[in-house]
Amino acid sequence: MKVSLIQMNSQENKDANLKKAEQLIAQAVADDHPDMVVLPEMFTCLTESAEVRSANADKIPGGETYGLLRDLAQRHRIFVHGGSLLESDGDDVYNTTVAFDAKGNELARYRKIHLFDVTTPDGKEYRESASISRGGDVVTYDAAGARVGCTICYDLRFPELYQALARKDATVIMVPAAFTLMTGKDHWEVLLRARAIETESYVLAPGQCGTYANGRRATYGHSLVVDPWGHVVAKASDQVGYITVRLDLDYLQSVRAKIPVAQHKVL
Mean pLDDT split into 10-residue runs, the chain, 267 residues: 98 97 98 98 94 94 97 98 97 97 98 93 86 96 97 98 98 98 96 98 98 94 98 96 98 97 88
Cα distance between residue 95 and residue 113, in whole Å: 9
pLDDT digits (tens, 9 = 90+) for 65-90: 999 999 999 999 999 999 999 999 99
Cα distance between residue 176 and residue 208, in whole Å: 9
Cα distance between residue 79 and residue 108, in whole Å: 11
pLDDT score of 266: 85
Coil, strand or helix at 194 = helix
125 CB neighbour count, 10 Å cutoff: 9
Nearest residue to 33 via CA among 223, 175, 244, 216: 244
Helices (H), the chain: 14-32, 50-55, 64-76, 159-167, 181-199, 249-258, 261-264
pLDDT score of 195: 98
pLDDT score of 125: 87
45 is catalytic: no
pLDDT score of 122: 82
112 is catalytic: yes
Cα distance between residue 99 and residue 97, in whole Å: 7
Catalytic residue among 128, 153, 200, 209: 153
Nearest residue to 65 via CA among 109, 34, 103: 109
Catalytic residue among 12, 112, 150, 209: 112
Catalytic residue among 12, 14, 20, 41: 41
198 is catalytic: no
* Confidence (pTM): 0.96
What is the architecture of the domain spanning 2-264?
4-Layer Sandwich (3.60)
